[in-house]
Amino acid sequence: MFNHILSGRIKMSFISVFDVMGPNMIGPSSSHTAGAARIGFLAQKMINGPLKKVEFTLYGSFSRTYKGHGTDRALLGGIMGFSTDDMRIRNSFEIAEKKGLEFTFTPNELETDIHPNTVDIHMVNESGQEMTVRGESLGGGKVRIVRINSVQVDFTGEYSAVIVTHQDKPGVVAYITKCLSDRNVNIAFMRLFRESKGEIAYTIVESDGRLPEDIGVTIRQHENIHEVMIVQM
């Protein structure tokens, strides 16, 4: 059973007709290319680079059309930090090979009770750290990160964010907010996700502006905090 706490403003899910048109993108479909590149881009922000290996598992529509629609190249380009309109996405396979980045794509058509444009990205960096991120492409370049490792989350990547992995212990969330307040960071949204009481939890704090580059170092000093990921938008 997963629990989550939402503080601050209520975050509404709203996509306008202009959003559905999507951003400029190299490829035929905003869901299969812009969204895919965006998911990859967000995923690589959550692990220390450089990456050594990445495995993509594709579900639903992604699993059936990922080659013809360029989803594979977009995902790989995003993992290498390319933006949705970066012309290098066309050559992402060749660029990854030159970088020595191992990559695989595995379609999974057995799991059907899932968003049709879903991908699991399993990443391994050169230090041996591993992380798995699940993302959904919602259309118009909009995406949502719905799982980090085994914990269900909800993160759109529209704001700069701090993603903190920690033990579910009293005082940890208060410590995180104090660190941000001391650096004059204005919190737009803050949510806590946990698998079970007292176990591993993720606190995601989204900010109205860019975050101080060294805020992660400060937050990591707490004994119950395991990892701090900074996603700058």
Q: Is the same domain home to 41 and 148?
A: yes
**Does some domain include residue 130?**
yes
Q: Is the same domain home to 125 and 184?
A: no
Q: Is the same domain home to 31 and 96?
A: yes
pLDDT the model gives residue 3: 45
Q: Token match 């013809």: residue?
A: 68
Q: Final residue of a domain: which of 121, 153, 185?
A: 153
pLDDT the model gives residue 191: 95
Q: Is the same domain home to 163 and 222?
A: yes
Side-chain-side CA neighbours of 221 within 13 Å: the count stands at 9
pLDDT the model gives residue 92: 96
| pLDDT over threshold 80, residue 7 | no
Q: Which domain holds residue 218?
A: 159-231
Element (H, E) at 193: strand 187-194
Q: Token match 């977009």: residue?
A: 74
Q: Token match 């995601």: residue?
A: 204
Q: For the domain that residue 222 is a member of, what is the CATH number?
A: 3.30.70.260
User: Is the pTM of the predicted complex or chain greater than 0.85?
Assistant: no
Nearest by Cα to 69 from 58, 81, 79: 58
pLDDT the model gives residue 21: 35
pLDDT the model gives residue 17: 31
CA 188, 186, 143, 126 dihedral sign is negative
Q: Is the same domain home to 116 and 214?
A: no
**Does some domain include residue 177?**
yes
- If one counts every other C-beta atom within 10 angstroms of the C-beta of residue 159, the result is 21
Q: For the domain that residue 113 is a member of, what is the CATH number?
A: 3.30.1330.90
Q: Is the same domain home to 142 and 183?
A: no
Q: How many angstroms separate the CA atoms of 14 and 98, rounded?
A: 40
**Does some domain include residue 136?**
yes
In degrees rounded to 5, what are phi and psi of residue 74?
Answer: -70, -45
**Does some domain include residue 5?**
no
Q: Is the same domain home to 216 and 110?
A: no
**Does some domain include residue 191?**
yes
pLDDT the model gives residue 27: 44
Q: With cut-offs at 50, 70 and 90, classify the pLDDT of residue 29.
A: low
**Does some domain include residue 63?**
yes
Percent of the chain with pLDDT strictly greater than 70: 86
Q: Is the same domain home to 169 and 120?
A: no
| pLDDT over threshold 50, residue 13 | no
Q: Is the same domain home to 41 and 109?
A: yes
Q: Is the same domain home to 69 and 148?
A: yes
Q: How many independent structural domains does the chain possess?
A: 2
Where do runs of H (alpha helix) occur along the chain? 17-21, 35-45, 60-65, 71-79, 92-99, 172-182, 215-219
Q: How many angstroms separate the CA atoms of 118 and 62, rounded?
A: 7
Note the pLDDT tens digit of each residue in 47-71.
988 999 999 999 998 888 888 788 9
pLDDT the model gives residue 20: 36
Note the pLDDT tens digit of each residue in 96-141.
999 999 999 999 988 778 888 999 999 999 999 999 999 999 988 8
Q: Final residue of a domain: which of 153, 175, 194?
A: 153
Nearest by Cα to 68 from 16, 123, 38, 107: 107
pLDDT the model gives residue 114: 87
User: What average pLDDT does the segment 26-35 reach?
Assistant: 64
**Does some domain include residue 2?**
no
Note the pLDDT tens digit of each residue in 141-153.
889 999 999 889 9
